[in-house]
Structure 1
């Protein structure tokens, strides 16, 4: 069901188009995002982002100088939980799902990790948070993705705001989150 392998369905394309129109101004020639409005009880996806940078220390690693995957998962879960809590403005309850955990590259002791979390989908009192983990190479000023996580949390808020993508990349993240939630 990856969007890299299977493009959006007709239903998903219609949904993205409807969302685009719902944040557009009455004058559709005004493409500037500064002139856009968003529907009631919605938040722009880009406004849900939280991020952190951590240094990987020897106590979090193995005898092979690699960081335990569980450490990275814990840090991703902590950031996702905080992101869901800030988004819902309340206590986040149960983590209902940790889906599609992908370990692409190992993390060495001493690496700097950049974790970025974003709310990508909501449904009722459930919130889906996507976390991307990247190694920072300070010498080359590059980022290399190491992990990819999807978390679904239940909150105490019955009617969470919907998230609205503001560009194509965010729309694909929204559809990916929706597929994970419904799948």
Structure 2
């Protein structure tokens, strides 16, 4: 552990030294945001049919497989009769990754009504809309992975799929247009007993060829037909050496997620370098000429964290539901991204670029009649970077209680150096440390 901390500090020192030698801060984003985007070649070139048509067709096909009807019903259609068809793990044959690989198109070049939903006022694409599609598409890859040999042909799929978390969404420097076709592709990259990791790519047609936009990792849970207990899924049997490596990477990511969860700043005390940083923050913001309790001073060109947030309360409607009459996870991701972007714009006083989305956790389901409070806090800044932490809370209209259902972390970059944000309370200092960790991880400076 000590070695990893020393390594992280050394990387941060090298990062700072490199940046300090640059005359222009803006190129740092492109220098540090290089990620792996390309889908595995052997999977794309496999003999398995993988074209799923448009995203609209994907949504209809998923509803048909699950036996769901169109239109909103306050009481969802019962699926209890499907419980008897739930297979056992030993009845499910192993699947290769290429079996679940598929692709779908968002036809923005020909569908004007879609353009209105996806385009920004500058003509670019709304990334929040794409997050919604990626969430749906990840569930579709789960459908493609499943094979239940003993399920009668006339019986609907006795499964429910829910998003557990989204891990690492990195963005390329390609500027996405709101009027050109976008292709989603992906496959199941790792499985547990009832969980599946799905990797999803976004590419856009530009100048006659597809260019990479982003890549995301979704962790999905398979549940039974009534969403009351976990359901087993087909194991993975790698088809070749490349799939072996991908599967091993999935195991490494699982261990990393467990380590990050165990070391969360909200569960264990800060490490030694972080405690030293906390003391430095205290010294910078505390006057030396008085011992007055709670007296704090704001250094030049800085802002208090408590003055650096944006909040919105959103009523939920059936339009935002998933297949099980809960608020669709993609809607929460889109809403959180859009208020986070607004917070970043207002803080930077310019239009920043979204560089990275860290892990998104889905802790509790949200009812379609909920009031959702989204609060986007600026929790850390570094040079021209802004780290946003957005918290989604469900408001109980009868008791006034608030329950946190989701936490989102976003890294934005501005064209110039931004005002430094500083914590004023111990609670805010913990958020500052958490934001710093997320920033270093997104920049590749901290691997744990």
Specify the TM-score bucket, using the shorter chain as the normaliser: over 0.9
Q: 2:301 matched to which residue of 1?
A: 41
Q: Relative contact order (C-alpha < 8 Å, sep 6+): which is higher?
A: 1
How many Å separate the matches in 2 of 1:2 and 1:28? 35
How far the C-alpha of 1:51 sits from its partner, in A, is 0.4
Instruction: Give me the whole-angstrom Cα distance separating, in 1, the residues matched to 2:376 and 2:266.
Output: 20
Per the alignment, residue 321 of structure 2 pairs with: 61
Specify every segment of 5 or more residues in structure 2 that has no aligned partner in the other structure, as ranges: 1-262, 442-448
Correspondence 1:103-122 to 2 at 5 A: 103-122=362-381
Query: Partner of 1:8: helix, strand, or coil?
Result: coil
Distance in 1 between residues matched to 2:267 and 2:428, nearest whole Å = 17
Q: Residue 79 of structure 1: which of 324, 339, 342 is its match? A: 339
Q: Distance in 1 between matches of 2:290 and 2:429?
A: 19
- 1:138-169 CA distance string (max 9 Å, x none): 2111000110000001112x221211101111
CA RMSD of aligned residues (A): 1.2
Q: 1:12-39 CA distances to partner (integer Å, 9 max, x unpaired)?
A: 1111111112111233412234xx3211
Deviations 1:16-67 (A, max 9, x none): 111112111233412234xx32111111011101100001111111242111
Which residue of structure 1 aligns with residue 55 of structure 2?
none
Say whether residues 1:32 and 2:294 are aligned partners.
yes
Q: 1:170 aligns with which of 423, 428, 442?
A: 428
Structure 1 position 8 matched with structure 2 position 270: yes
2:279 alignment counterpart:
17
Counterparts of 1:4 and 1:51, CA distance in 2: 22
**In 2: Cα distance, 1:76 partner to 1:50 partner:** 11
Residue 96 of structure 1 pairs with residue 350 of structure 2: no
State the shift of 1:4 in Å: 2.9
Query: Is 1:51 matched up with 2:311?
Result: yes
- Provide the TM-score with structure 1 as the length reference: 0.93
Select the residue among 389, 401, 413 that pairs with 1:142: 401
Q: Which whole-Å CA distance do the structure 1 matches of 2:367 and 2:314 have between them?
A: 12
Aligned residues: 179
In 2, Cα distance between equivalents of 1:12 and 1:28 = 26
Q: Write out per-residue CA displacement over residues 113-135 of structure 1, whole angstroms, 9 at most, x where no aligned residue.
A: 01111000111111000000000
Query: Following the alignment from structure 1 to structure 2, what is the Cα–Cα distance between the partners of residues 108 and 5?
Result: 28
Q: Report the Cα distance in structure 1 between the residues aligned to 2:266 and 2:377, rounded to whole angstroms.
A: 20
> Secondary structure at 2:359's aligned position in 1?
strand
Gaps of 5+ in 1: none
SS in 1 for 2:266: coil
For normalisation by structure 2, the TM-score amounts to 0.39
Larger strand proportion of the pair: 1
Secondary structure class of the residue paired with 2:358: strand
